[in-house]
Structure 1
Amino acid sequence: MQLHDLWFAVIAVLWTGYFFLEGFDFGVGVLTRLLARDRGERRVLINTIGPVWDGNEVWLISAAGATFAAFPDWYATLFSGFYLPLLVILVCLIVRGVAFEYRAKRSGTQWQDRWEWALFVTSLLPAFLWGLAFGNLVRGVPIDADKNFTGDLADLLGPYALLGGLVTLTLFTFHGAVFTALKTTGDIRPRARRLATMAGPVCAVLTAAFLAWTQLNSGGSVSFVASAAAVGALLAAVVANAAGREGWAFGLSGVTVVAMTAALFIALFPDVMPSSLDPRWSLTAENAASSPYTLKIMTWCAALATPVVMLYQGWTYWVFRKRIGTRHIAGNH
């Protein structure tokens, strides 16, 4: 395996980890308005992800940094062509982080309510826009012979990309609902299961349609296996959730996220950004990569740092593993 192929796989793993972890994170943020009935229940939901949300975003930073260093042409074309949706995502992530920290700085109802609405909106928009971005990444966008994006915003709003946005939004919401059922106690727990039971079939239909479309456009035998695994795991997660097997439901919803992301990257390879104008102008893992020496240094650094980061994040989840409910929430500040 060439180093540029290895780093394509590494970046795929980083995005997979990000969507698995931040997926339920975004889903819980969406549920603060769909599931919670009052401020106490919203505080329960926020507290389920409060200790881990910032650690989850490390995977995004790592994926963007690895793309910048390993595939500079991919990074440049991606961030210039997808400038507006990625800018909206960036602003949402900034405001979302501020909402987590500032919401409890004052006890006023209006102050807290505004930050809770900000948390909801900045969870919903990225959940949709990531699917939109990856849909365009796999489908292909206008790229000329000089590796420049030549389209506009309308080129990013095709039906396939919009369907991808709906898939990630519904899938992350379902993922967040089964995580909520796993992490909470009291009345909110069965309501989270009921919401997941309602959202699961809708999510399954959208996911199956999106992956079938992907398979018809650019899939192969390996991506077909990953797509089938994603749909099968999602259906099994719906069944497990309905049976009250919350741990199994969350694990299977996580398998769905992992398998779907893997299917998209497998369908994309060896391209990193296909050109819809001429396949010869597509950016590939080979022609968009940094020098072999740069990739070699990056490989050594990643081999040393990655285990430390994963051990630390795993320890964080272990420390905050217990369920919480409204009885654990103190009164207003």
Structure 2
Amino acid sequence: MELTTVWFIIIAFLWTSYFFLEGFDFGVGMLLPVLGRSDVERRVVINTIGPVWDANEVWFIVAGAAMFAAFPEWYATLFSGFYLPLLAILLALIIRGVAFEYRGKRDDARWRSRWDKAIFWGSLVPAFLWGVAFANIVRGVPLDADHEYAGTLTDLFTPYALLGGLTTMVLFVLHGAVFLALKTSGDIRARARFVASVAAVAAIAAGGSFLLITQLDHGKPVTWLTAGGAAIGLAVAAVANRRGREGWAFIGTGAAIVLAVATLFTSLFPDVMPSTLDAAGTLTTGNASSTPYTLTIMTWVAAVFTPIVMIYQGWTYWVFRKRIGTSHIPARAPRKSERAR
């Protein structure tokens, strides 16, 4: 197998891991105002991802770095042509990260409310725009013979791309709701299961439509299996959630995300960014890659460090595997004015 193909698979794996892990982070953030009816409940919701959300974002950084090193032409064209949507994603992620850290710095309801809104929008915007971006990557964008983006911002928001954004958004809401049902107890768990049952219907409708269109327009024979597997994963998640089997429901949503991303990348290969203007402008694993020497060095580095990162992150999830509820949230210390009374 050629190293260009190996690194296409590695990059697909990195993006798949990012969407699987950060997907429920985004879902939890979007569900914060829905499931957190008091400050204590919102603290429970946030604490379910508190120990892991920043580590989950590392997969995005690594995926982007791998694209830059292995396929610099792909990286340059993608990040220049999709500049404004990717900038919006980056700003949303920064604001969300700041919100997690600053929310509890002041014992003021209005202060916390503002940061809660930042967490909500900082989760919703990337959840939607990532779907828009990857739908465009698979469908193709106007690239000239020099591999330069020749379209406008509005060209990125076609009906197909908007459906892709809606698919990732509702799929991450479902993934997050199932994760919350798996990680919490009491009323939050019950409400999360109800939200998951509603989100499952939306995810099946939007995701099924998007994958069917993708398969008919861009798919290959093998992607019927991955697309069908994603649909089965959603069905398993819906049934398991109704029966209170949160573990199986989470496996179902996780499988749906993994197989949906596999469908997109398999449909794309060997291209990395098709051109809708001129076939000469299409970027492939061959004309967008680095030198064989660079790919060889990268392969050895990835072989050594990727297992270490996966083991460490798996250990983190094991340590923080238990459920939490409102009884685990300590009361806030009274303010100075209250202590003086």
Same fold by TM-score greater than 0.5: yes
SS in 1 for 2:141: coil
Superposed CA deviations along residues 76-111 of structure 1, whole A, max 9, x for unmatched, are 000000000000000011111111111111111111
Using the TM superposition, give the Cα deviation of residue 222 of structure 1 relative to its aligned residue in structure 2, in angstroms. Answer: 1.1
Q: Which moved more, 1:72-81 or 1:35-44?
A: 35-44
TM-score (normalised: structure 1): 0.99
Using the TM superposition, give the Cα deviation of residue 167 of structure 1 relative to its aligned residue in structure 2, in angstroms. Answer: 0.2
Question: For residues 266-281 of structure 1, what are the structure 2 equivalents within 5 Å?
Answer: 266-281=266-281
Q: Which residue of 1 aligns with 2:169?
A: 169
The answer for unaligned runs of 5 or more in structure 2 is 334-341
| Distance (Å, rounded) in 2 between the aligned partners of 1:168 and 1:282 | 26
Using the TM superposition, give the Cα deviation of residue 329 of structure 1 relative to its aligned residue in structure 2, in angstroms. Answer: 0.8
Asked if 1:27 is matched to 2:27, the reply is: yes
Using the TM superposition, give the Cα deviation of residue 332 of structure 1 relative to its aligned residue in structure 2, in angstroms. Answer: 2.3
| Distance (Å, rounded) in 2 between the aligned partners of 1:117 and 1:104 | 14
The answer for unaligned runs of 5 or more in structure 1 is none
- Percent identical pairs in the alignment equals 62
Q: Which residue of 1 aligns with 2:337?
A: none
Q: Which residue of 2 aligns with 1:309?
A: 309
Using the TM superposition, give the Cα deviation of residue 279 of structure 1 relative to its aligned residue in structure 2, in angstroms. Answer: 2.4
Amino acid aligned to 1:184: T
Question: For residues 143-222 of structure 1, what are the structure 2 equivalents within 5 Å?
Answer: 143-222=143-222
Question: For residues 81-160 of structure 1, what are the structure 2 equivalents within 5 Å?
Answer: 81-160=81-160
Using the TM superposition, give the Cα deviation of residue 14 of structure 1 relative to its aligned residue in structure 2, in angstroms. Answer: 0.2
Q: Which residue of 2 aligns with 1:16?
A: 16
Q: Which residue of 2 aligns with 1:45?
A: 45
Amino acid aligned to 1:253: T
| Distance (Å, rounded) in 2 between the aligned partners of 1:246 and 1:59 | 25
Using the TM superposition, give the Cα deviation of residue 18 of structure 1 relative to its aligned residue in structure 2, in angstroms. Answer: 0.2
| Distance (Å, rounded) in 2 between the aligned partners of 1:265 and 1:288 | 16
Asked if 1:4 is matched to 2:4, the reply is: yes
Q: Which residue of 2 aligns with 1:332?
A: 332
Q: Say how many residue pairs are matched.
A: 333
RMSD across aligned positions (CA): 0.7
| Distance (Å, rounded) in 2 between the aligned partners of 1:134 and 1:209 | 16
Amino acid aligned to 1:302: A
Amino acid aligned to 1:291: T
Q: Which runs of 4+ in 1 moved over 3 A?
A: none
SS in 2 for 1:103: helix
| Distance (Å, rounded) in 1 between the aligned partners of 2:161 and 2:143 | 17
| Distance (Å, rounded) in 2 between the aligned partners of 1:19 and 1:167 | 13
| Distance (Å, rounded) in 2 between the aligned partners of 1:77 and 1:232 | 35
Using the TM superposition, give the Cα deviation of residue 307 of structure 1 relative to its aligned residue in structure 2, in angstroms. Answer: 0.8
Q: Which residue of 2 aligns with 1:223?
A: 223
SS in 2 for 1:57: helix
**Highest CA radius of gyration, 1 or 2?**
2
| Distance (Å, rounded) in 1 between the aligned partners of 2:332 and 2:165 | 37
SS in 2 for 1:51: coil
TM-score (normalised: structure 2): 0.97
